[in-house]
A and B are shown apart, each in its own frame.
Chain A
Amino acid sequence: MGVADFGGEAKRERRGGKRRRKKMRRLRYRLDMTPLVDIAFLLLTFFMLTTTLVTPQVMEMTIPPERTQVEVRQSELLTLRIRSDGKVFYNLGTDAPQAIALKDLESLAVRENVRLKNRLITVLKPSPNVPYGRVIAVLDVLNRAEVQISEQLAREGLKRERRFALAPMTEQDEQEIAGL
């Protein structure tokens, strides 16, 4: 496209002509990029709008292989119960259950775990009727507390060993928190 013919001139003056001819061709060479750009932008828009960059994340869970009754010291047991209306109750050992807001749960978990230095066993008992999202919210709070717990225990030279269990809510549990 648009290449000037300098043939005759080149024959007459070889070296100079060659240089000049090359230069001219480069300058004049033009590729119409409009359709290319059109298509490229079209595809770009398509892929930008269809991709979701946020991939789902996961929360790992480990459960004991068998439902066996393990004898534990009552004083080292933190029971968390989620009532069917989503309210969370906690009690240490045989204490009376107390309602707790999710935002206070983190500091409670940190405080008690650091106080008992890895010996504390946390048992979570969600009611079968509570929405699953609520259970995950509570688990999430406990997971976040884990960071602080291991940090504080590390300061005392201890390695964090998590002791946590998910247990089904029994009738007795339900009765204990029913009227609160």
Chain B
Amino acid sequence: MPKVKKRRLGFVLDMTPLVDITFLLLTFFMLTAKFKSEAESQQRFTIVRPQATADTSRLPDKDLAIIKIGIDTLVGDTSYYYEMTNETDWAQVVGSMEQLQQSLGGQRVRQVKVNLQELDELIRRTRIVRPTTRFAIDADRRVRYKWVEDLMDVLRQNRATIFNFVTDRRPPEQPPM
């Protein structure tokens, strides 16, 4: 009996390497984690992005204006949504549009639901505030192409002729239909 007790007490597991690795992984995941932006947490739709072959080009983070075409999960109607990553630019653009501000009712939002005319106005003002702003079209793959075509016309009218389509990476084993 006393022998067994002694052995139990003396049992020591060296946790140092375990803790080392754990902290290493923890640091890695904490630094790579990207949290949902304020605009994203406000939206009432999820975008099913079209799939494309793996590419190295990534969405830029800075000075980006994203035009989303989403299908509302509750009502099921399609609409344009506009958001910008640069907060000060966003405040300037939205602040200069009285009509839009009235419809928002003074609420602080990061994403607005817009129609084509408002979108045209927003894009024009964005180009004035910062001409180097990049545009990205983040559309649901199920929407009719008409929505994208109209949007591209608006972009063209505002001389924003270079933009990006946001896509998801297609798994390599899955060929296109």
Q: Using CB atoms and an 8 Å cutoff, list the residues of chain A in contact with chain B.
A: 30, 33, 36-37, 40-41, 43-44, 47-48, 50-67, 82, 102-103, 126-137, 139-141, 143-144, 166, 168
Contacts and interface: CB of A to CB of B under 8 A. Distances in A.
B159 A56 contact: no
Contact of B50 (A47, A50, A132): A132
Which DSSP category, helix, strand, loop or mixed, fits chain A's interface? mixed
Contact of B176 (A47, A56, A59, A141): A141
B156 A63 contact: yes
Interface string B73-94: 0000000000000000000000
B33 A51 contact: yes
Contacts of A139: 52, 165
B168 A133 contact: no
25 contacts: A33-B15, A37-B22, A44-B29, A47-B33, A53-B32, A54-B168, A55-B59, A57-B166, A58-B57, A58-B136, A59-B57, A64-B161, A102-B177, A103-B176, A128-B144, A128-B145, A129-B146, A130-B145, A131-B142, A132-B50, A137-B51, A139-B165, A141-B176, A143-B52, A166-B152
A136 B52 contact: yes
A58 B59 contact: yes
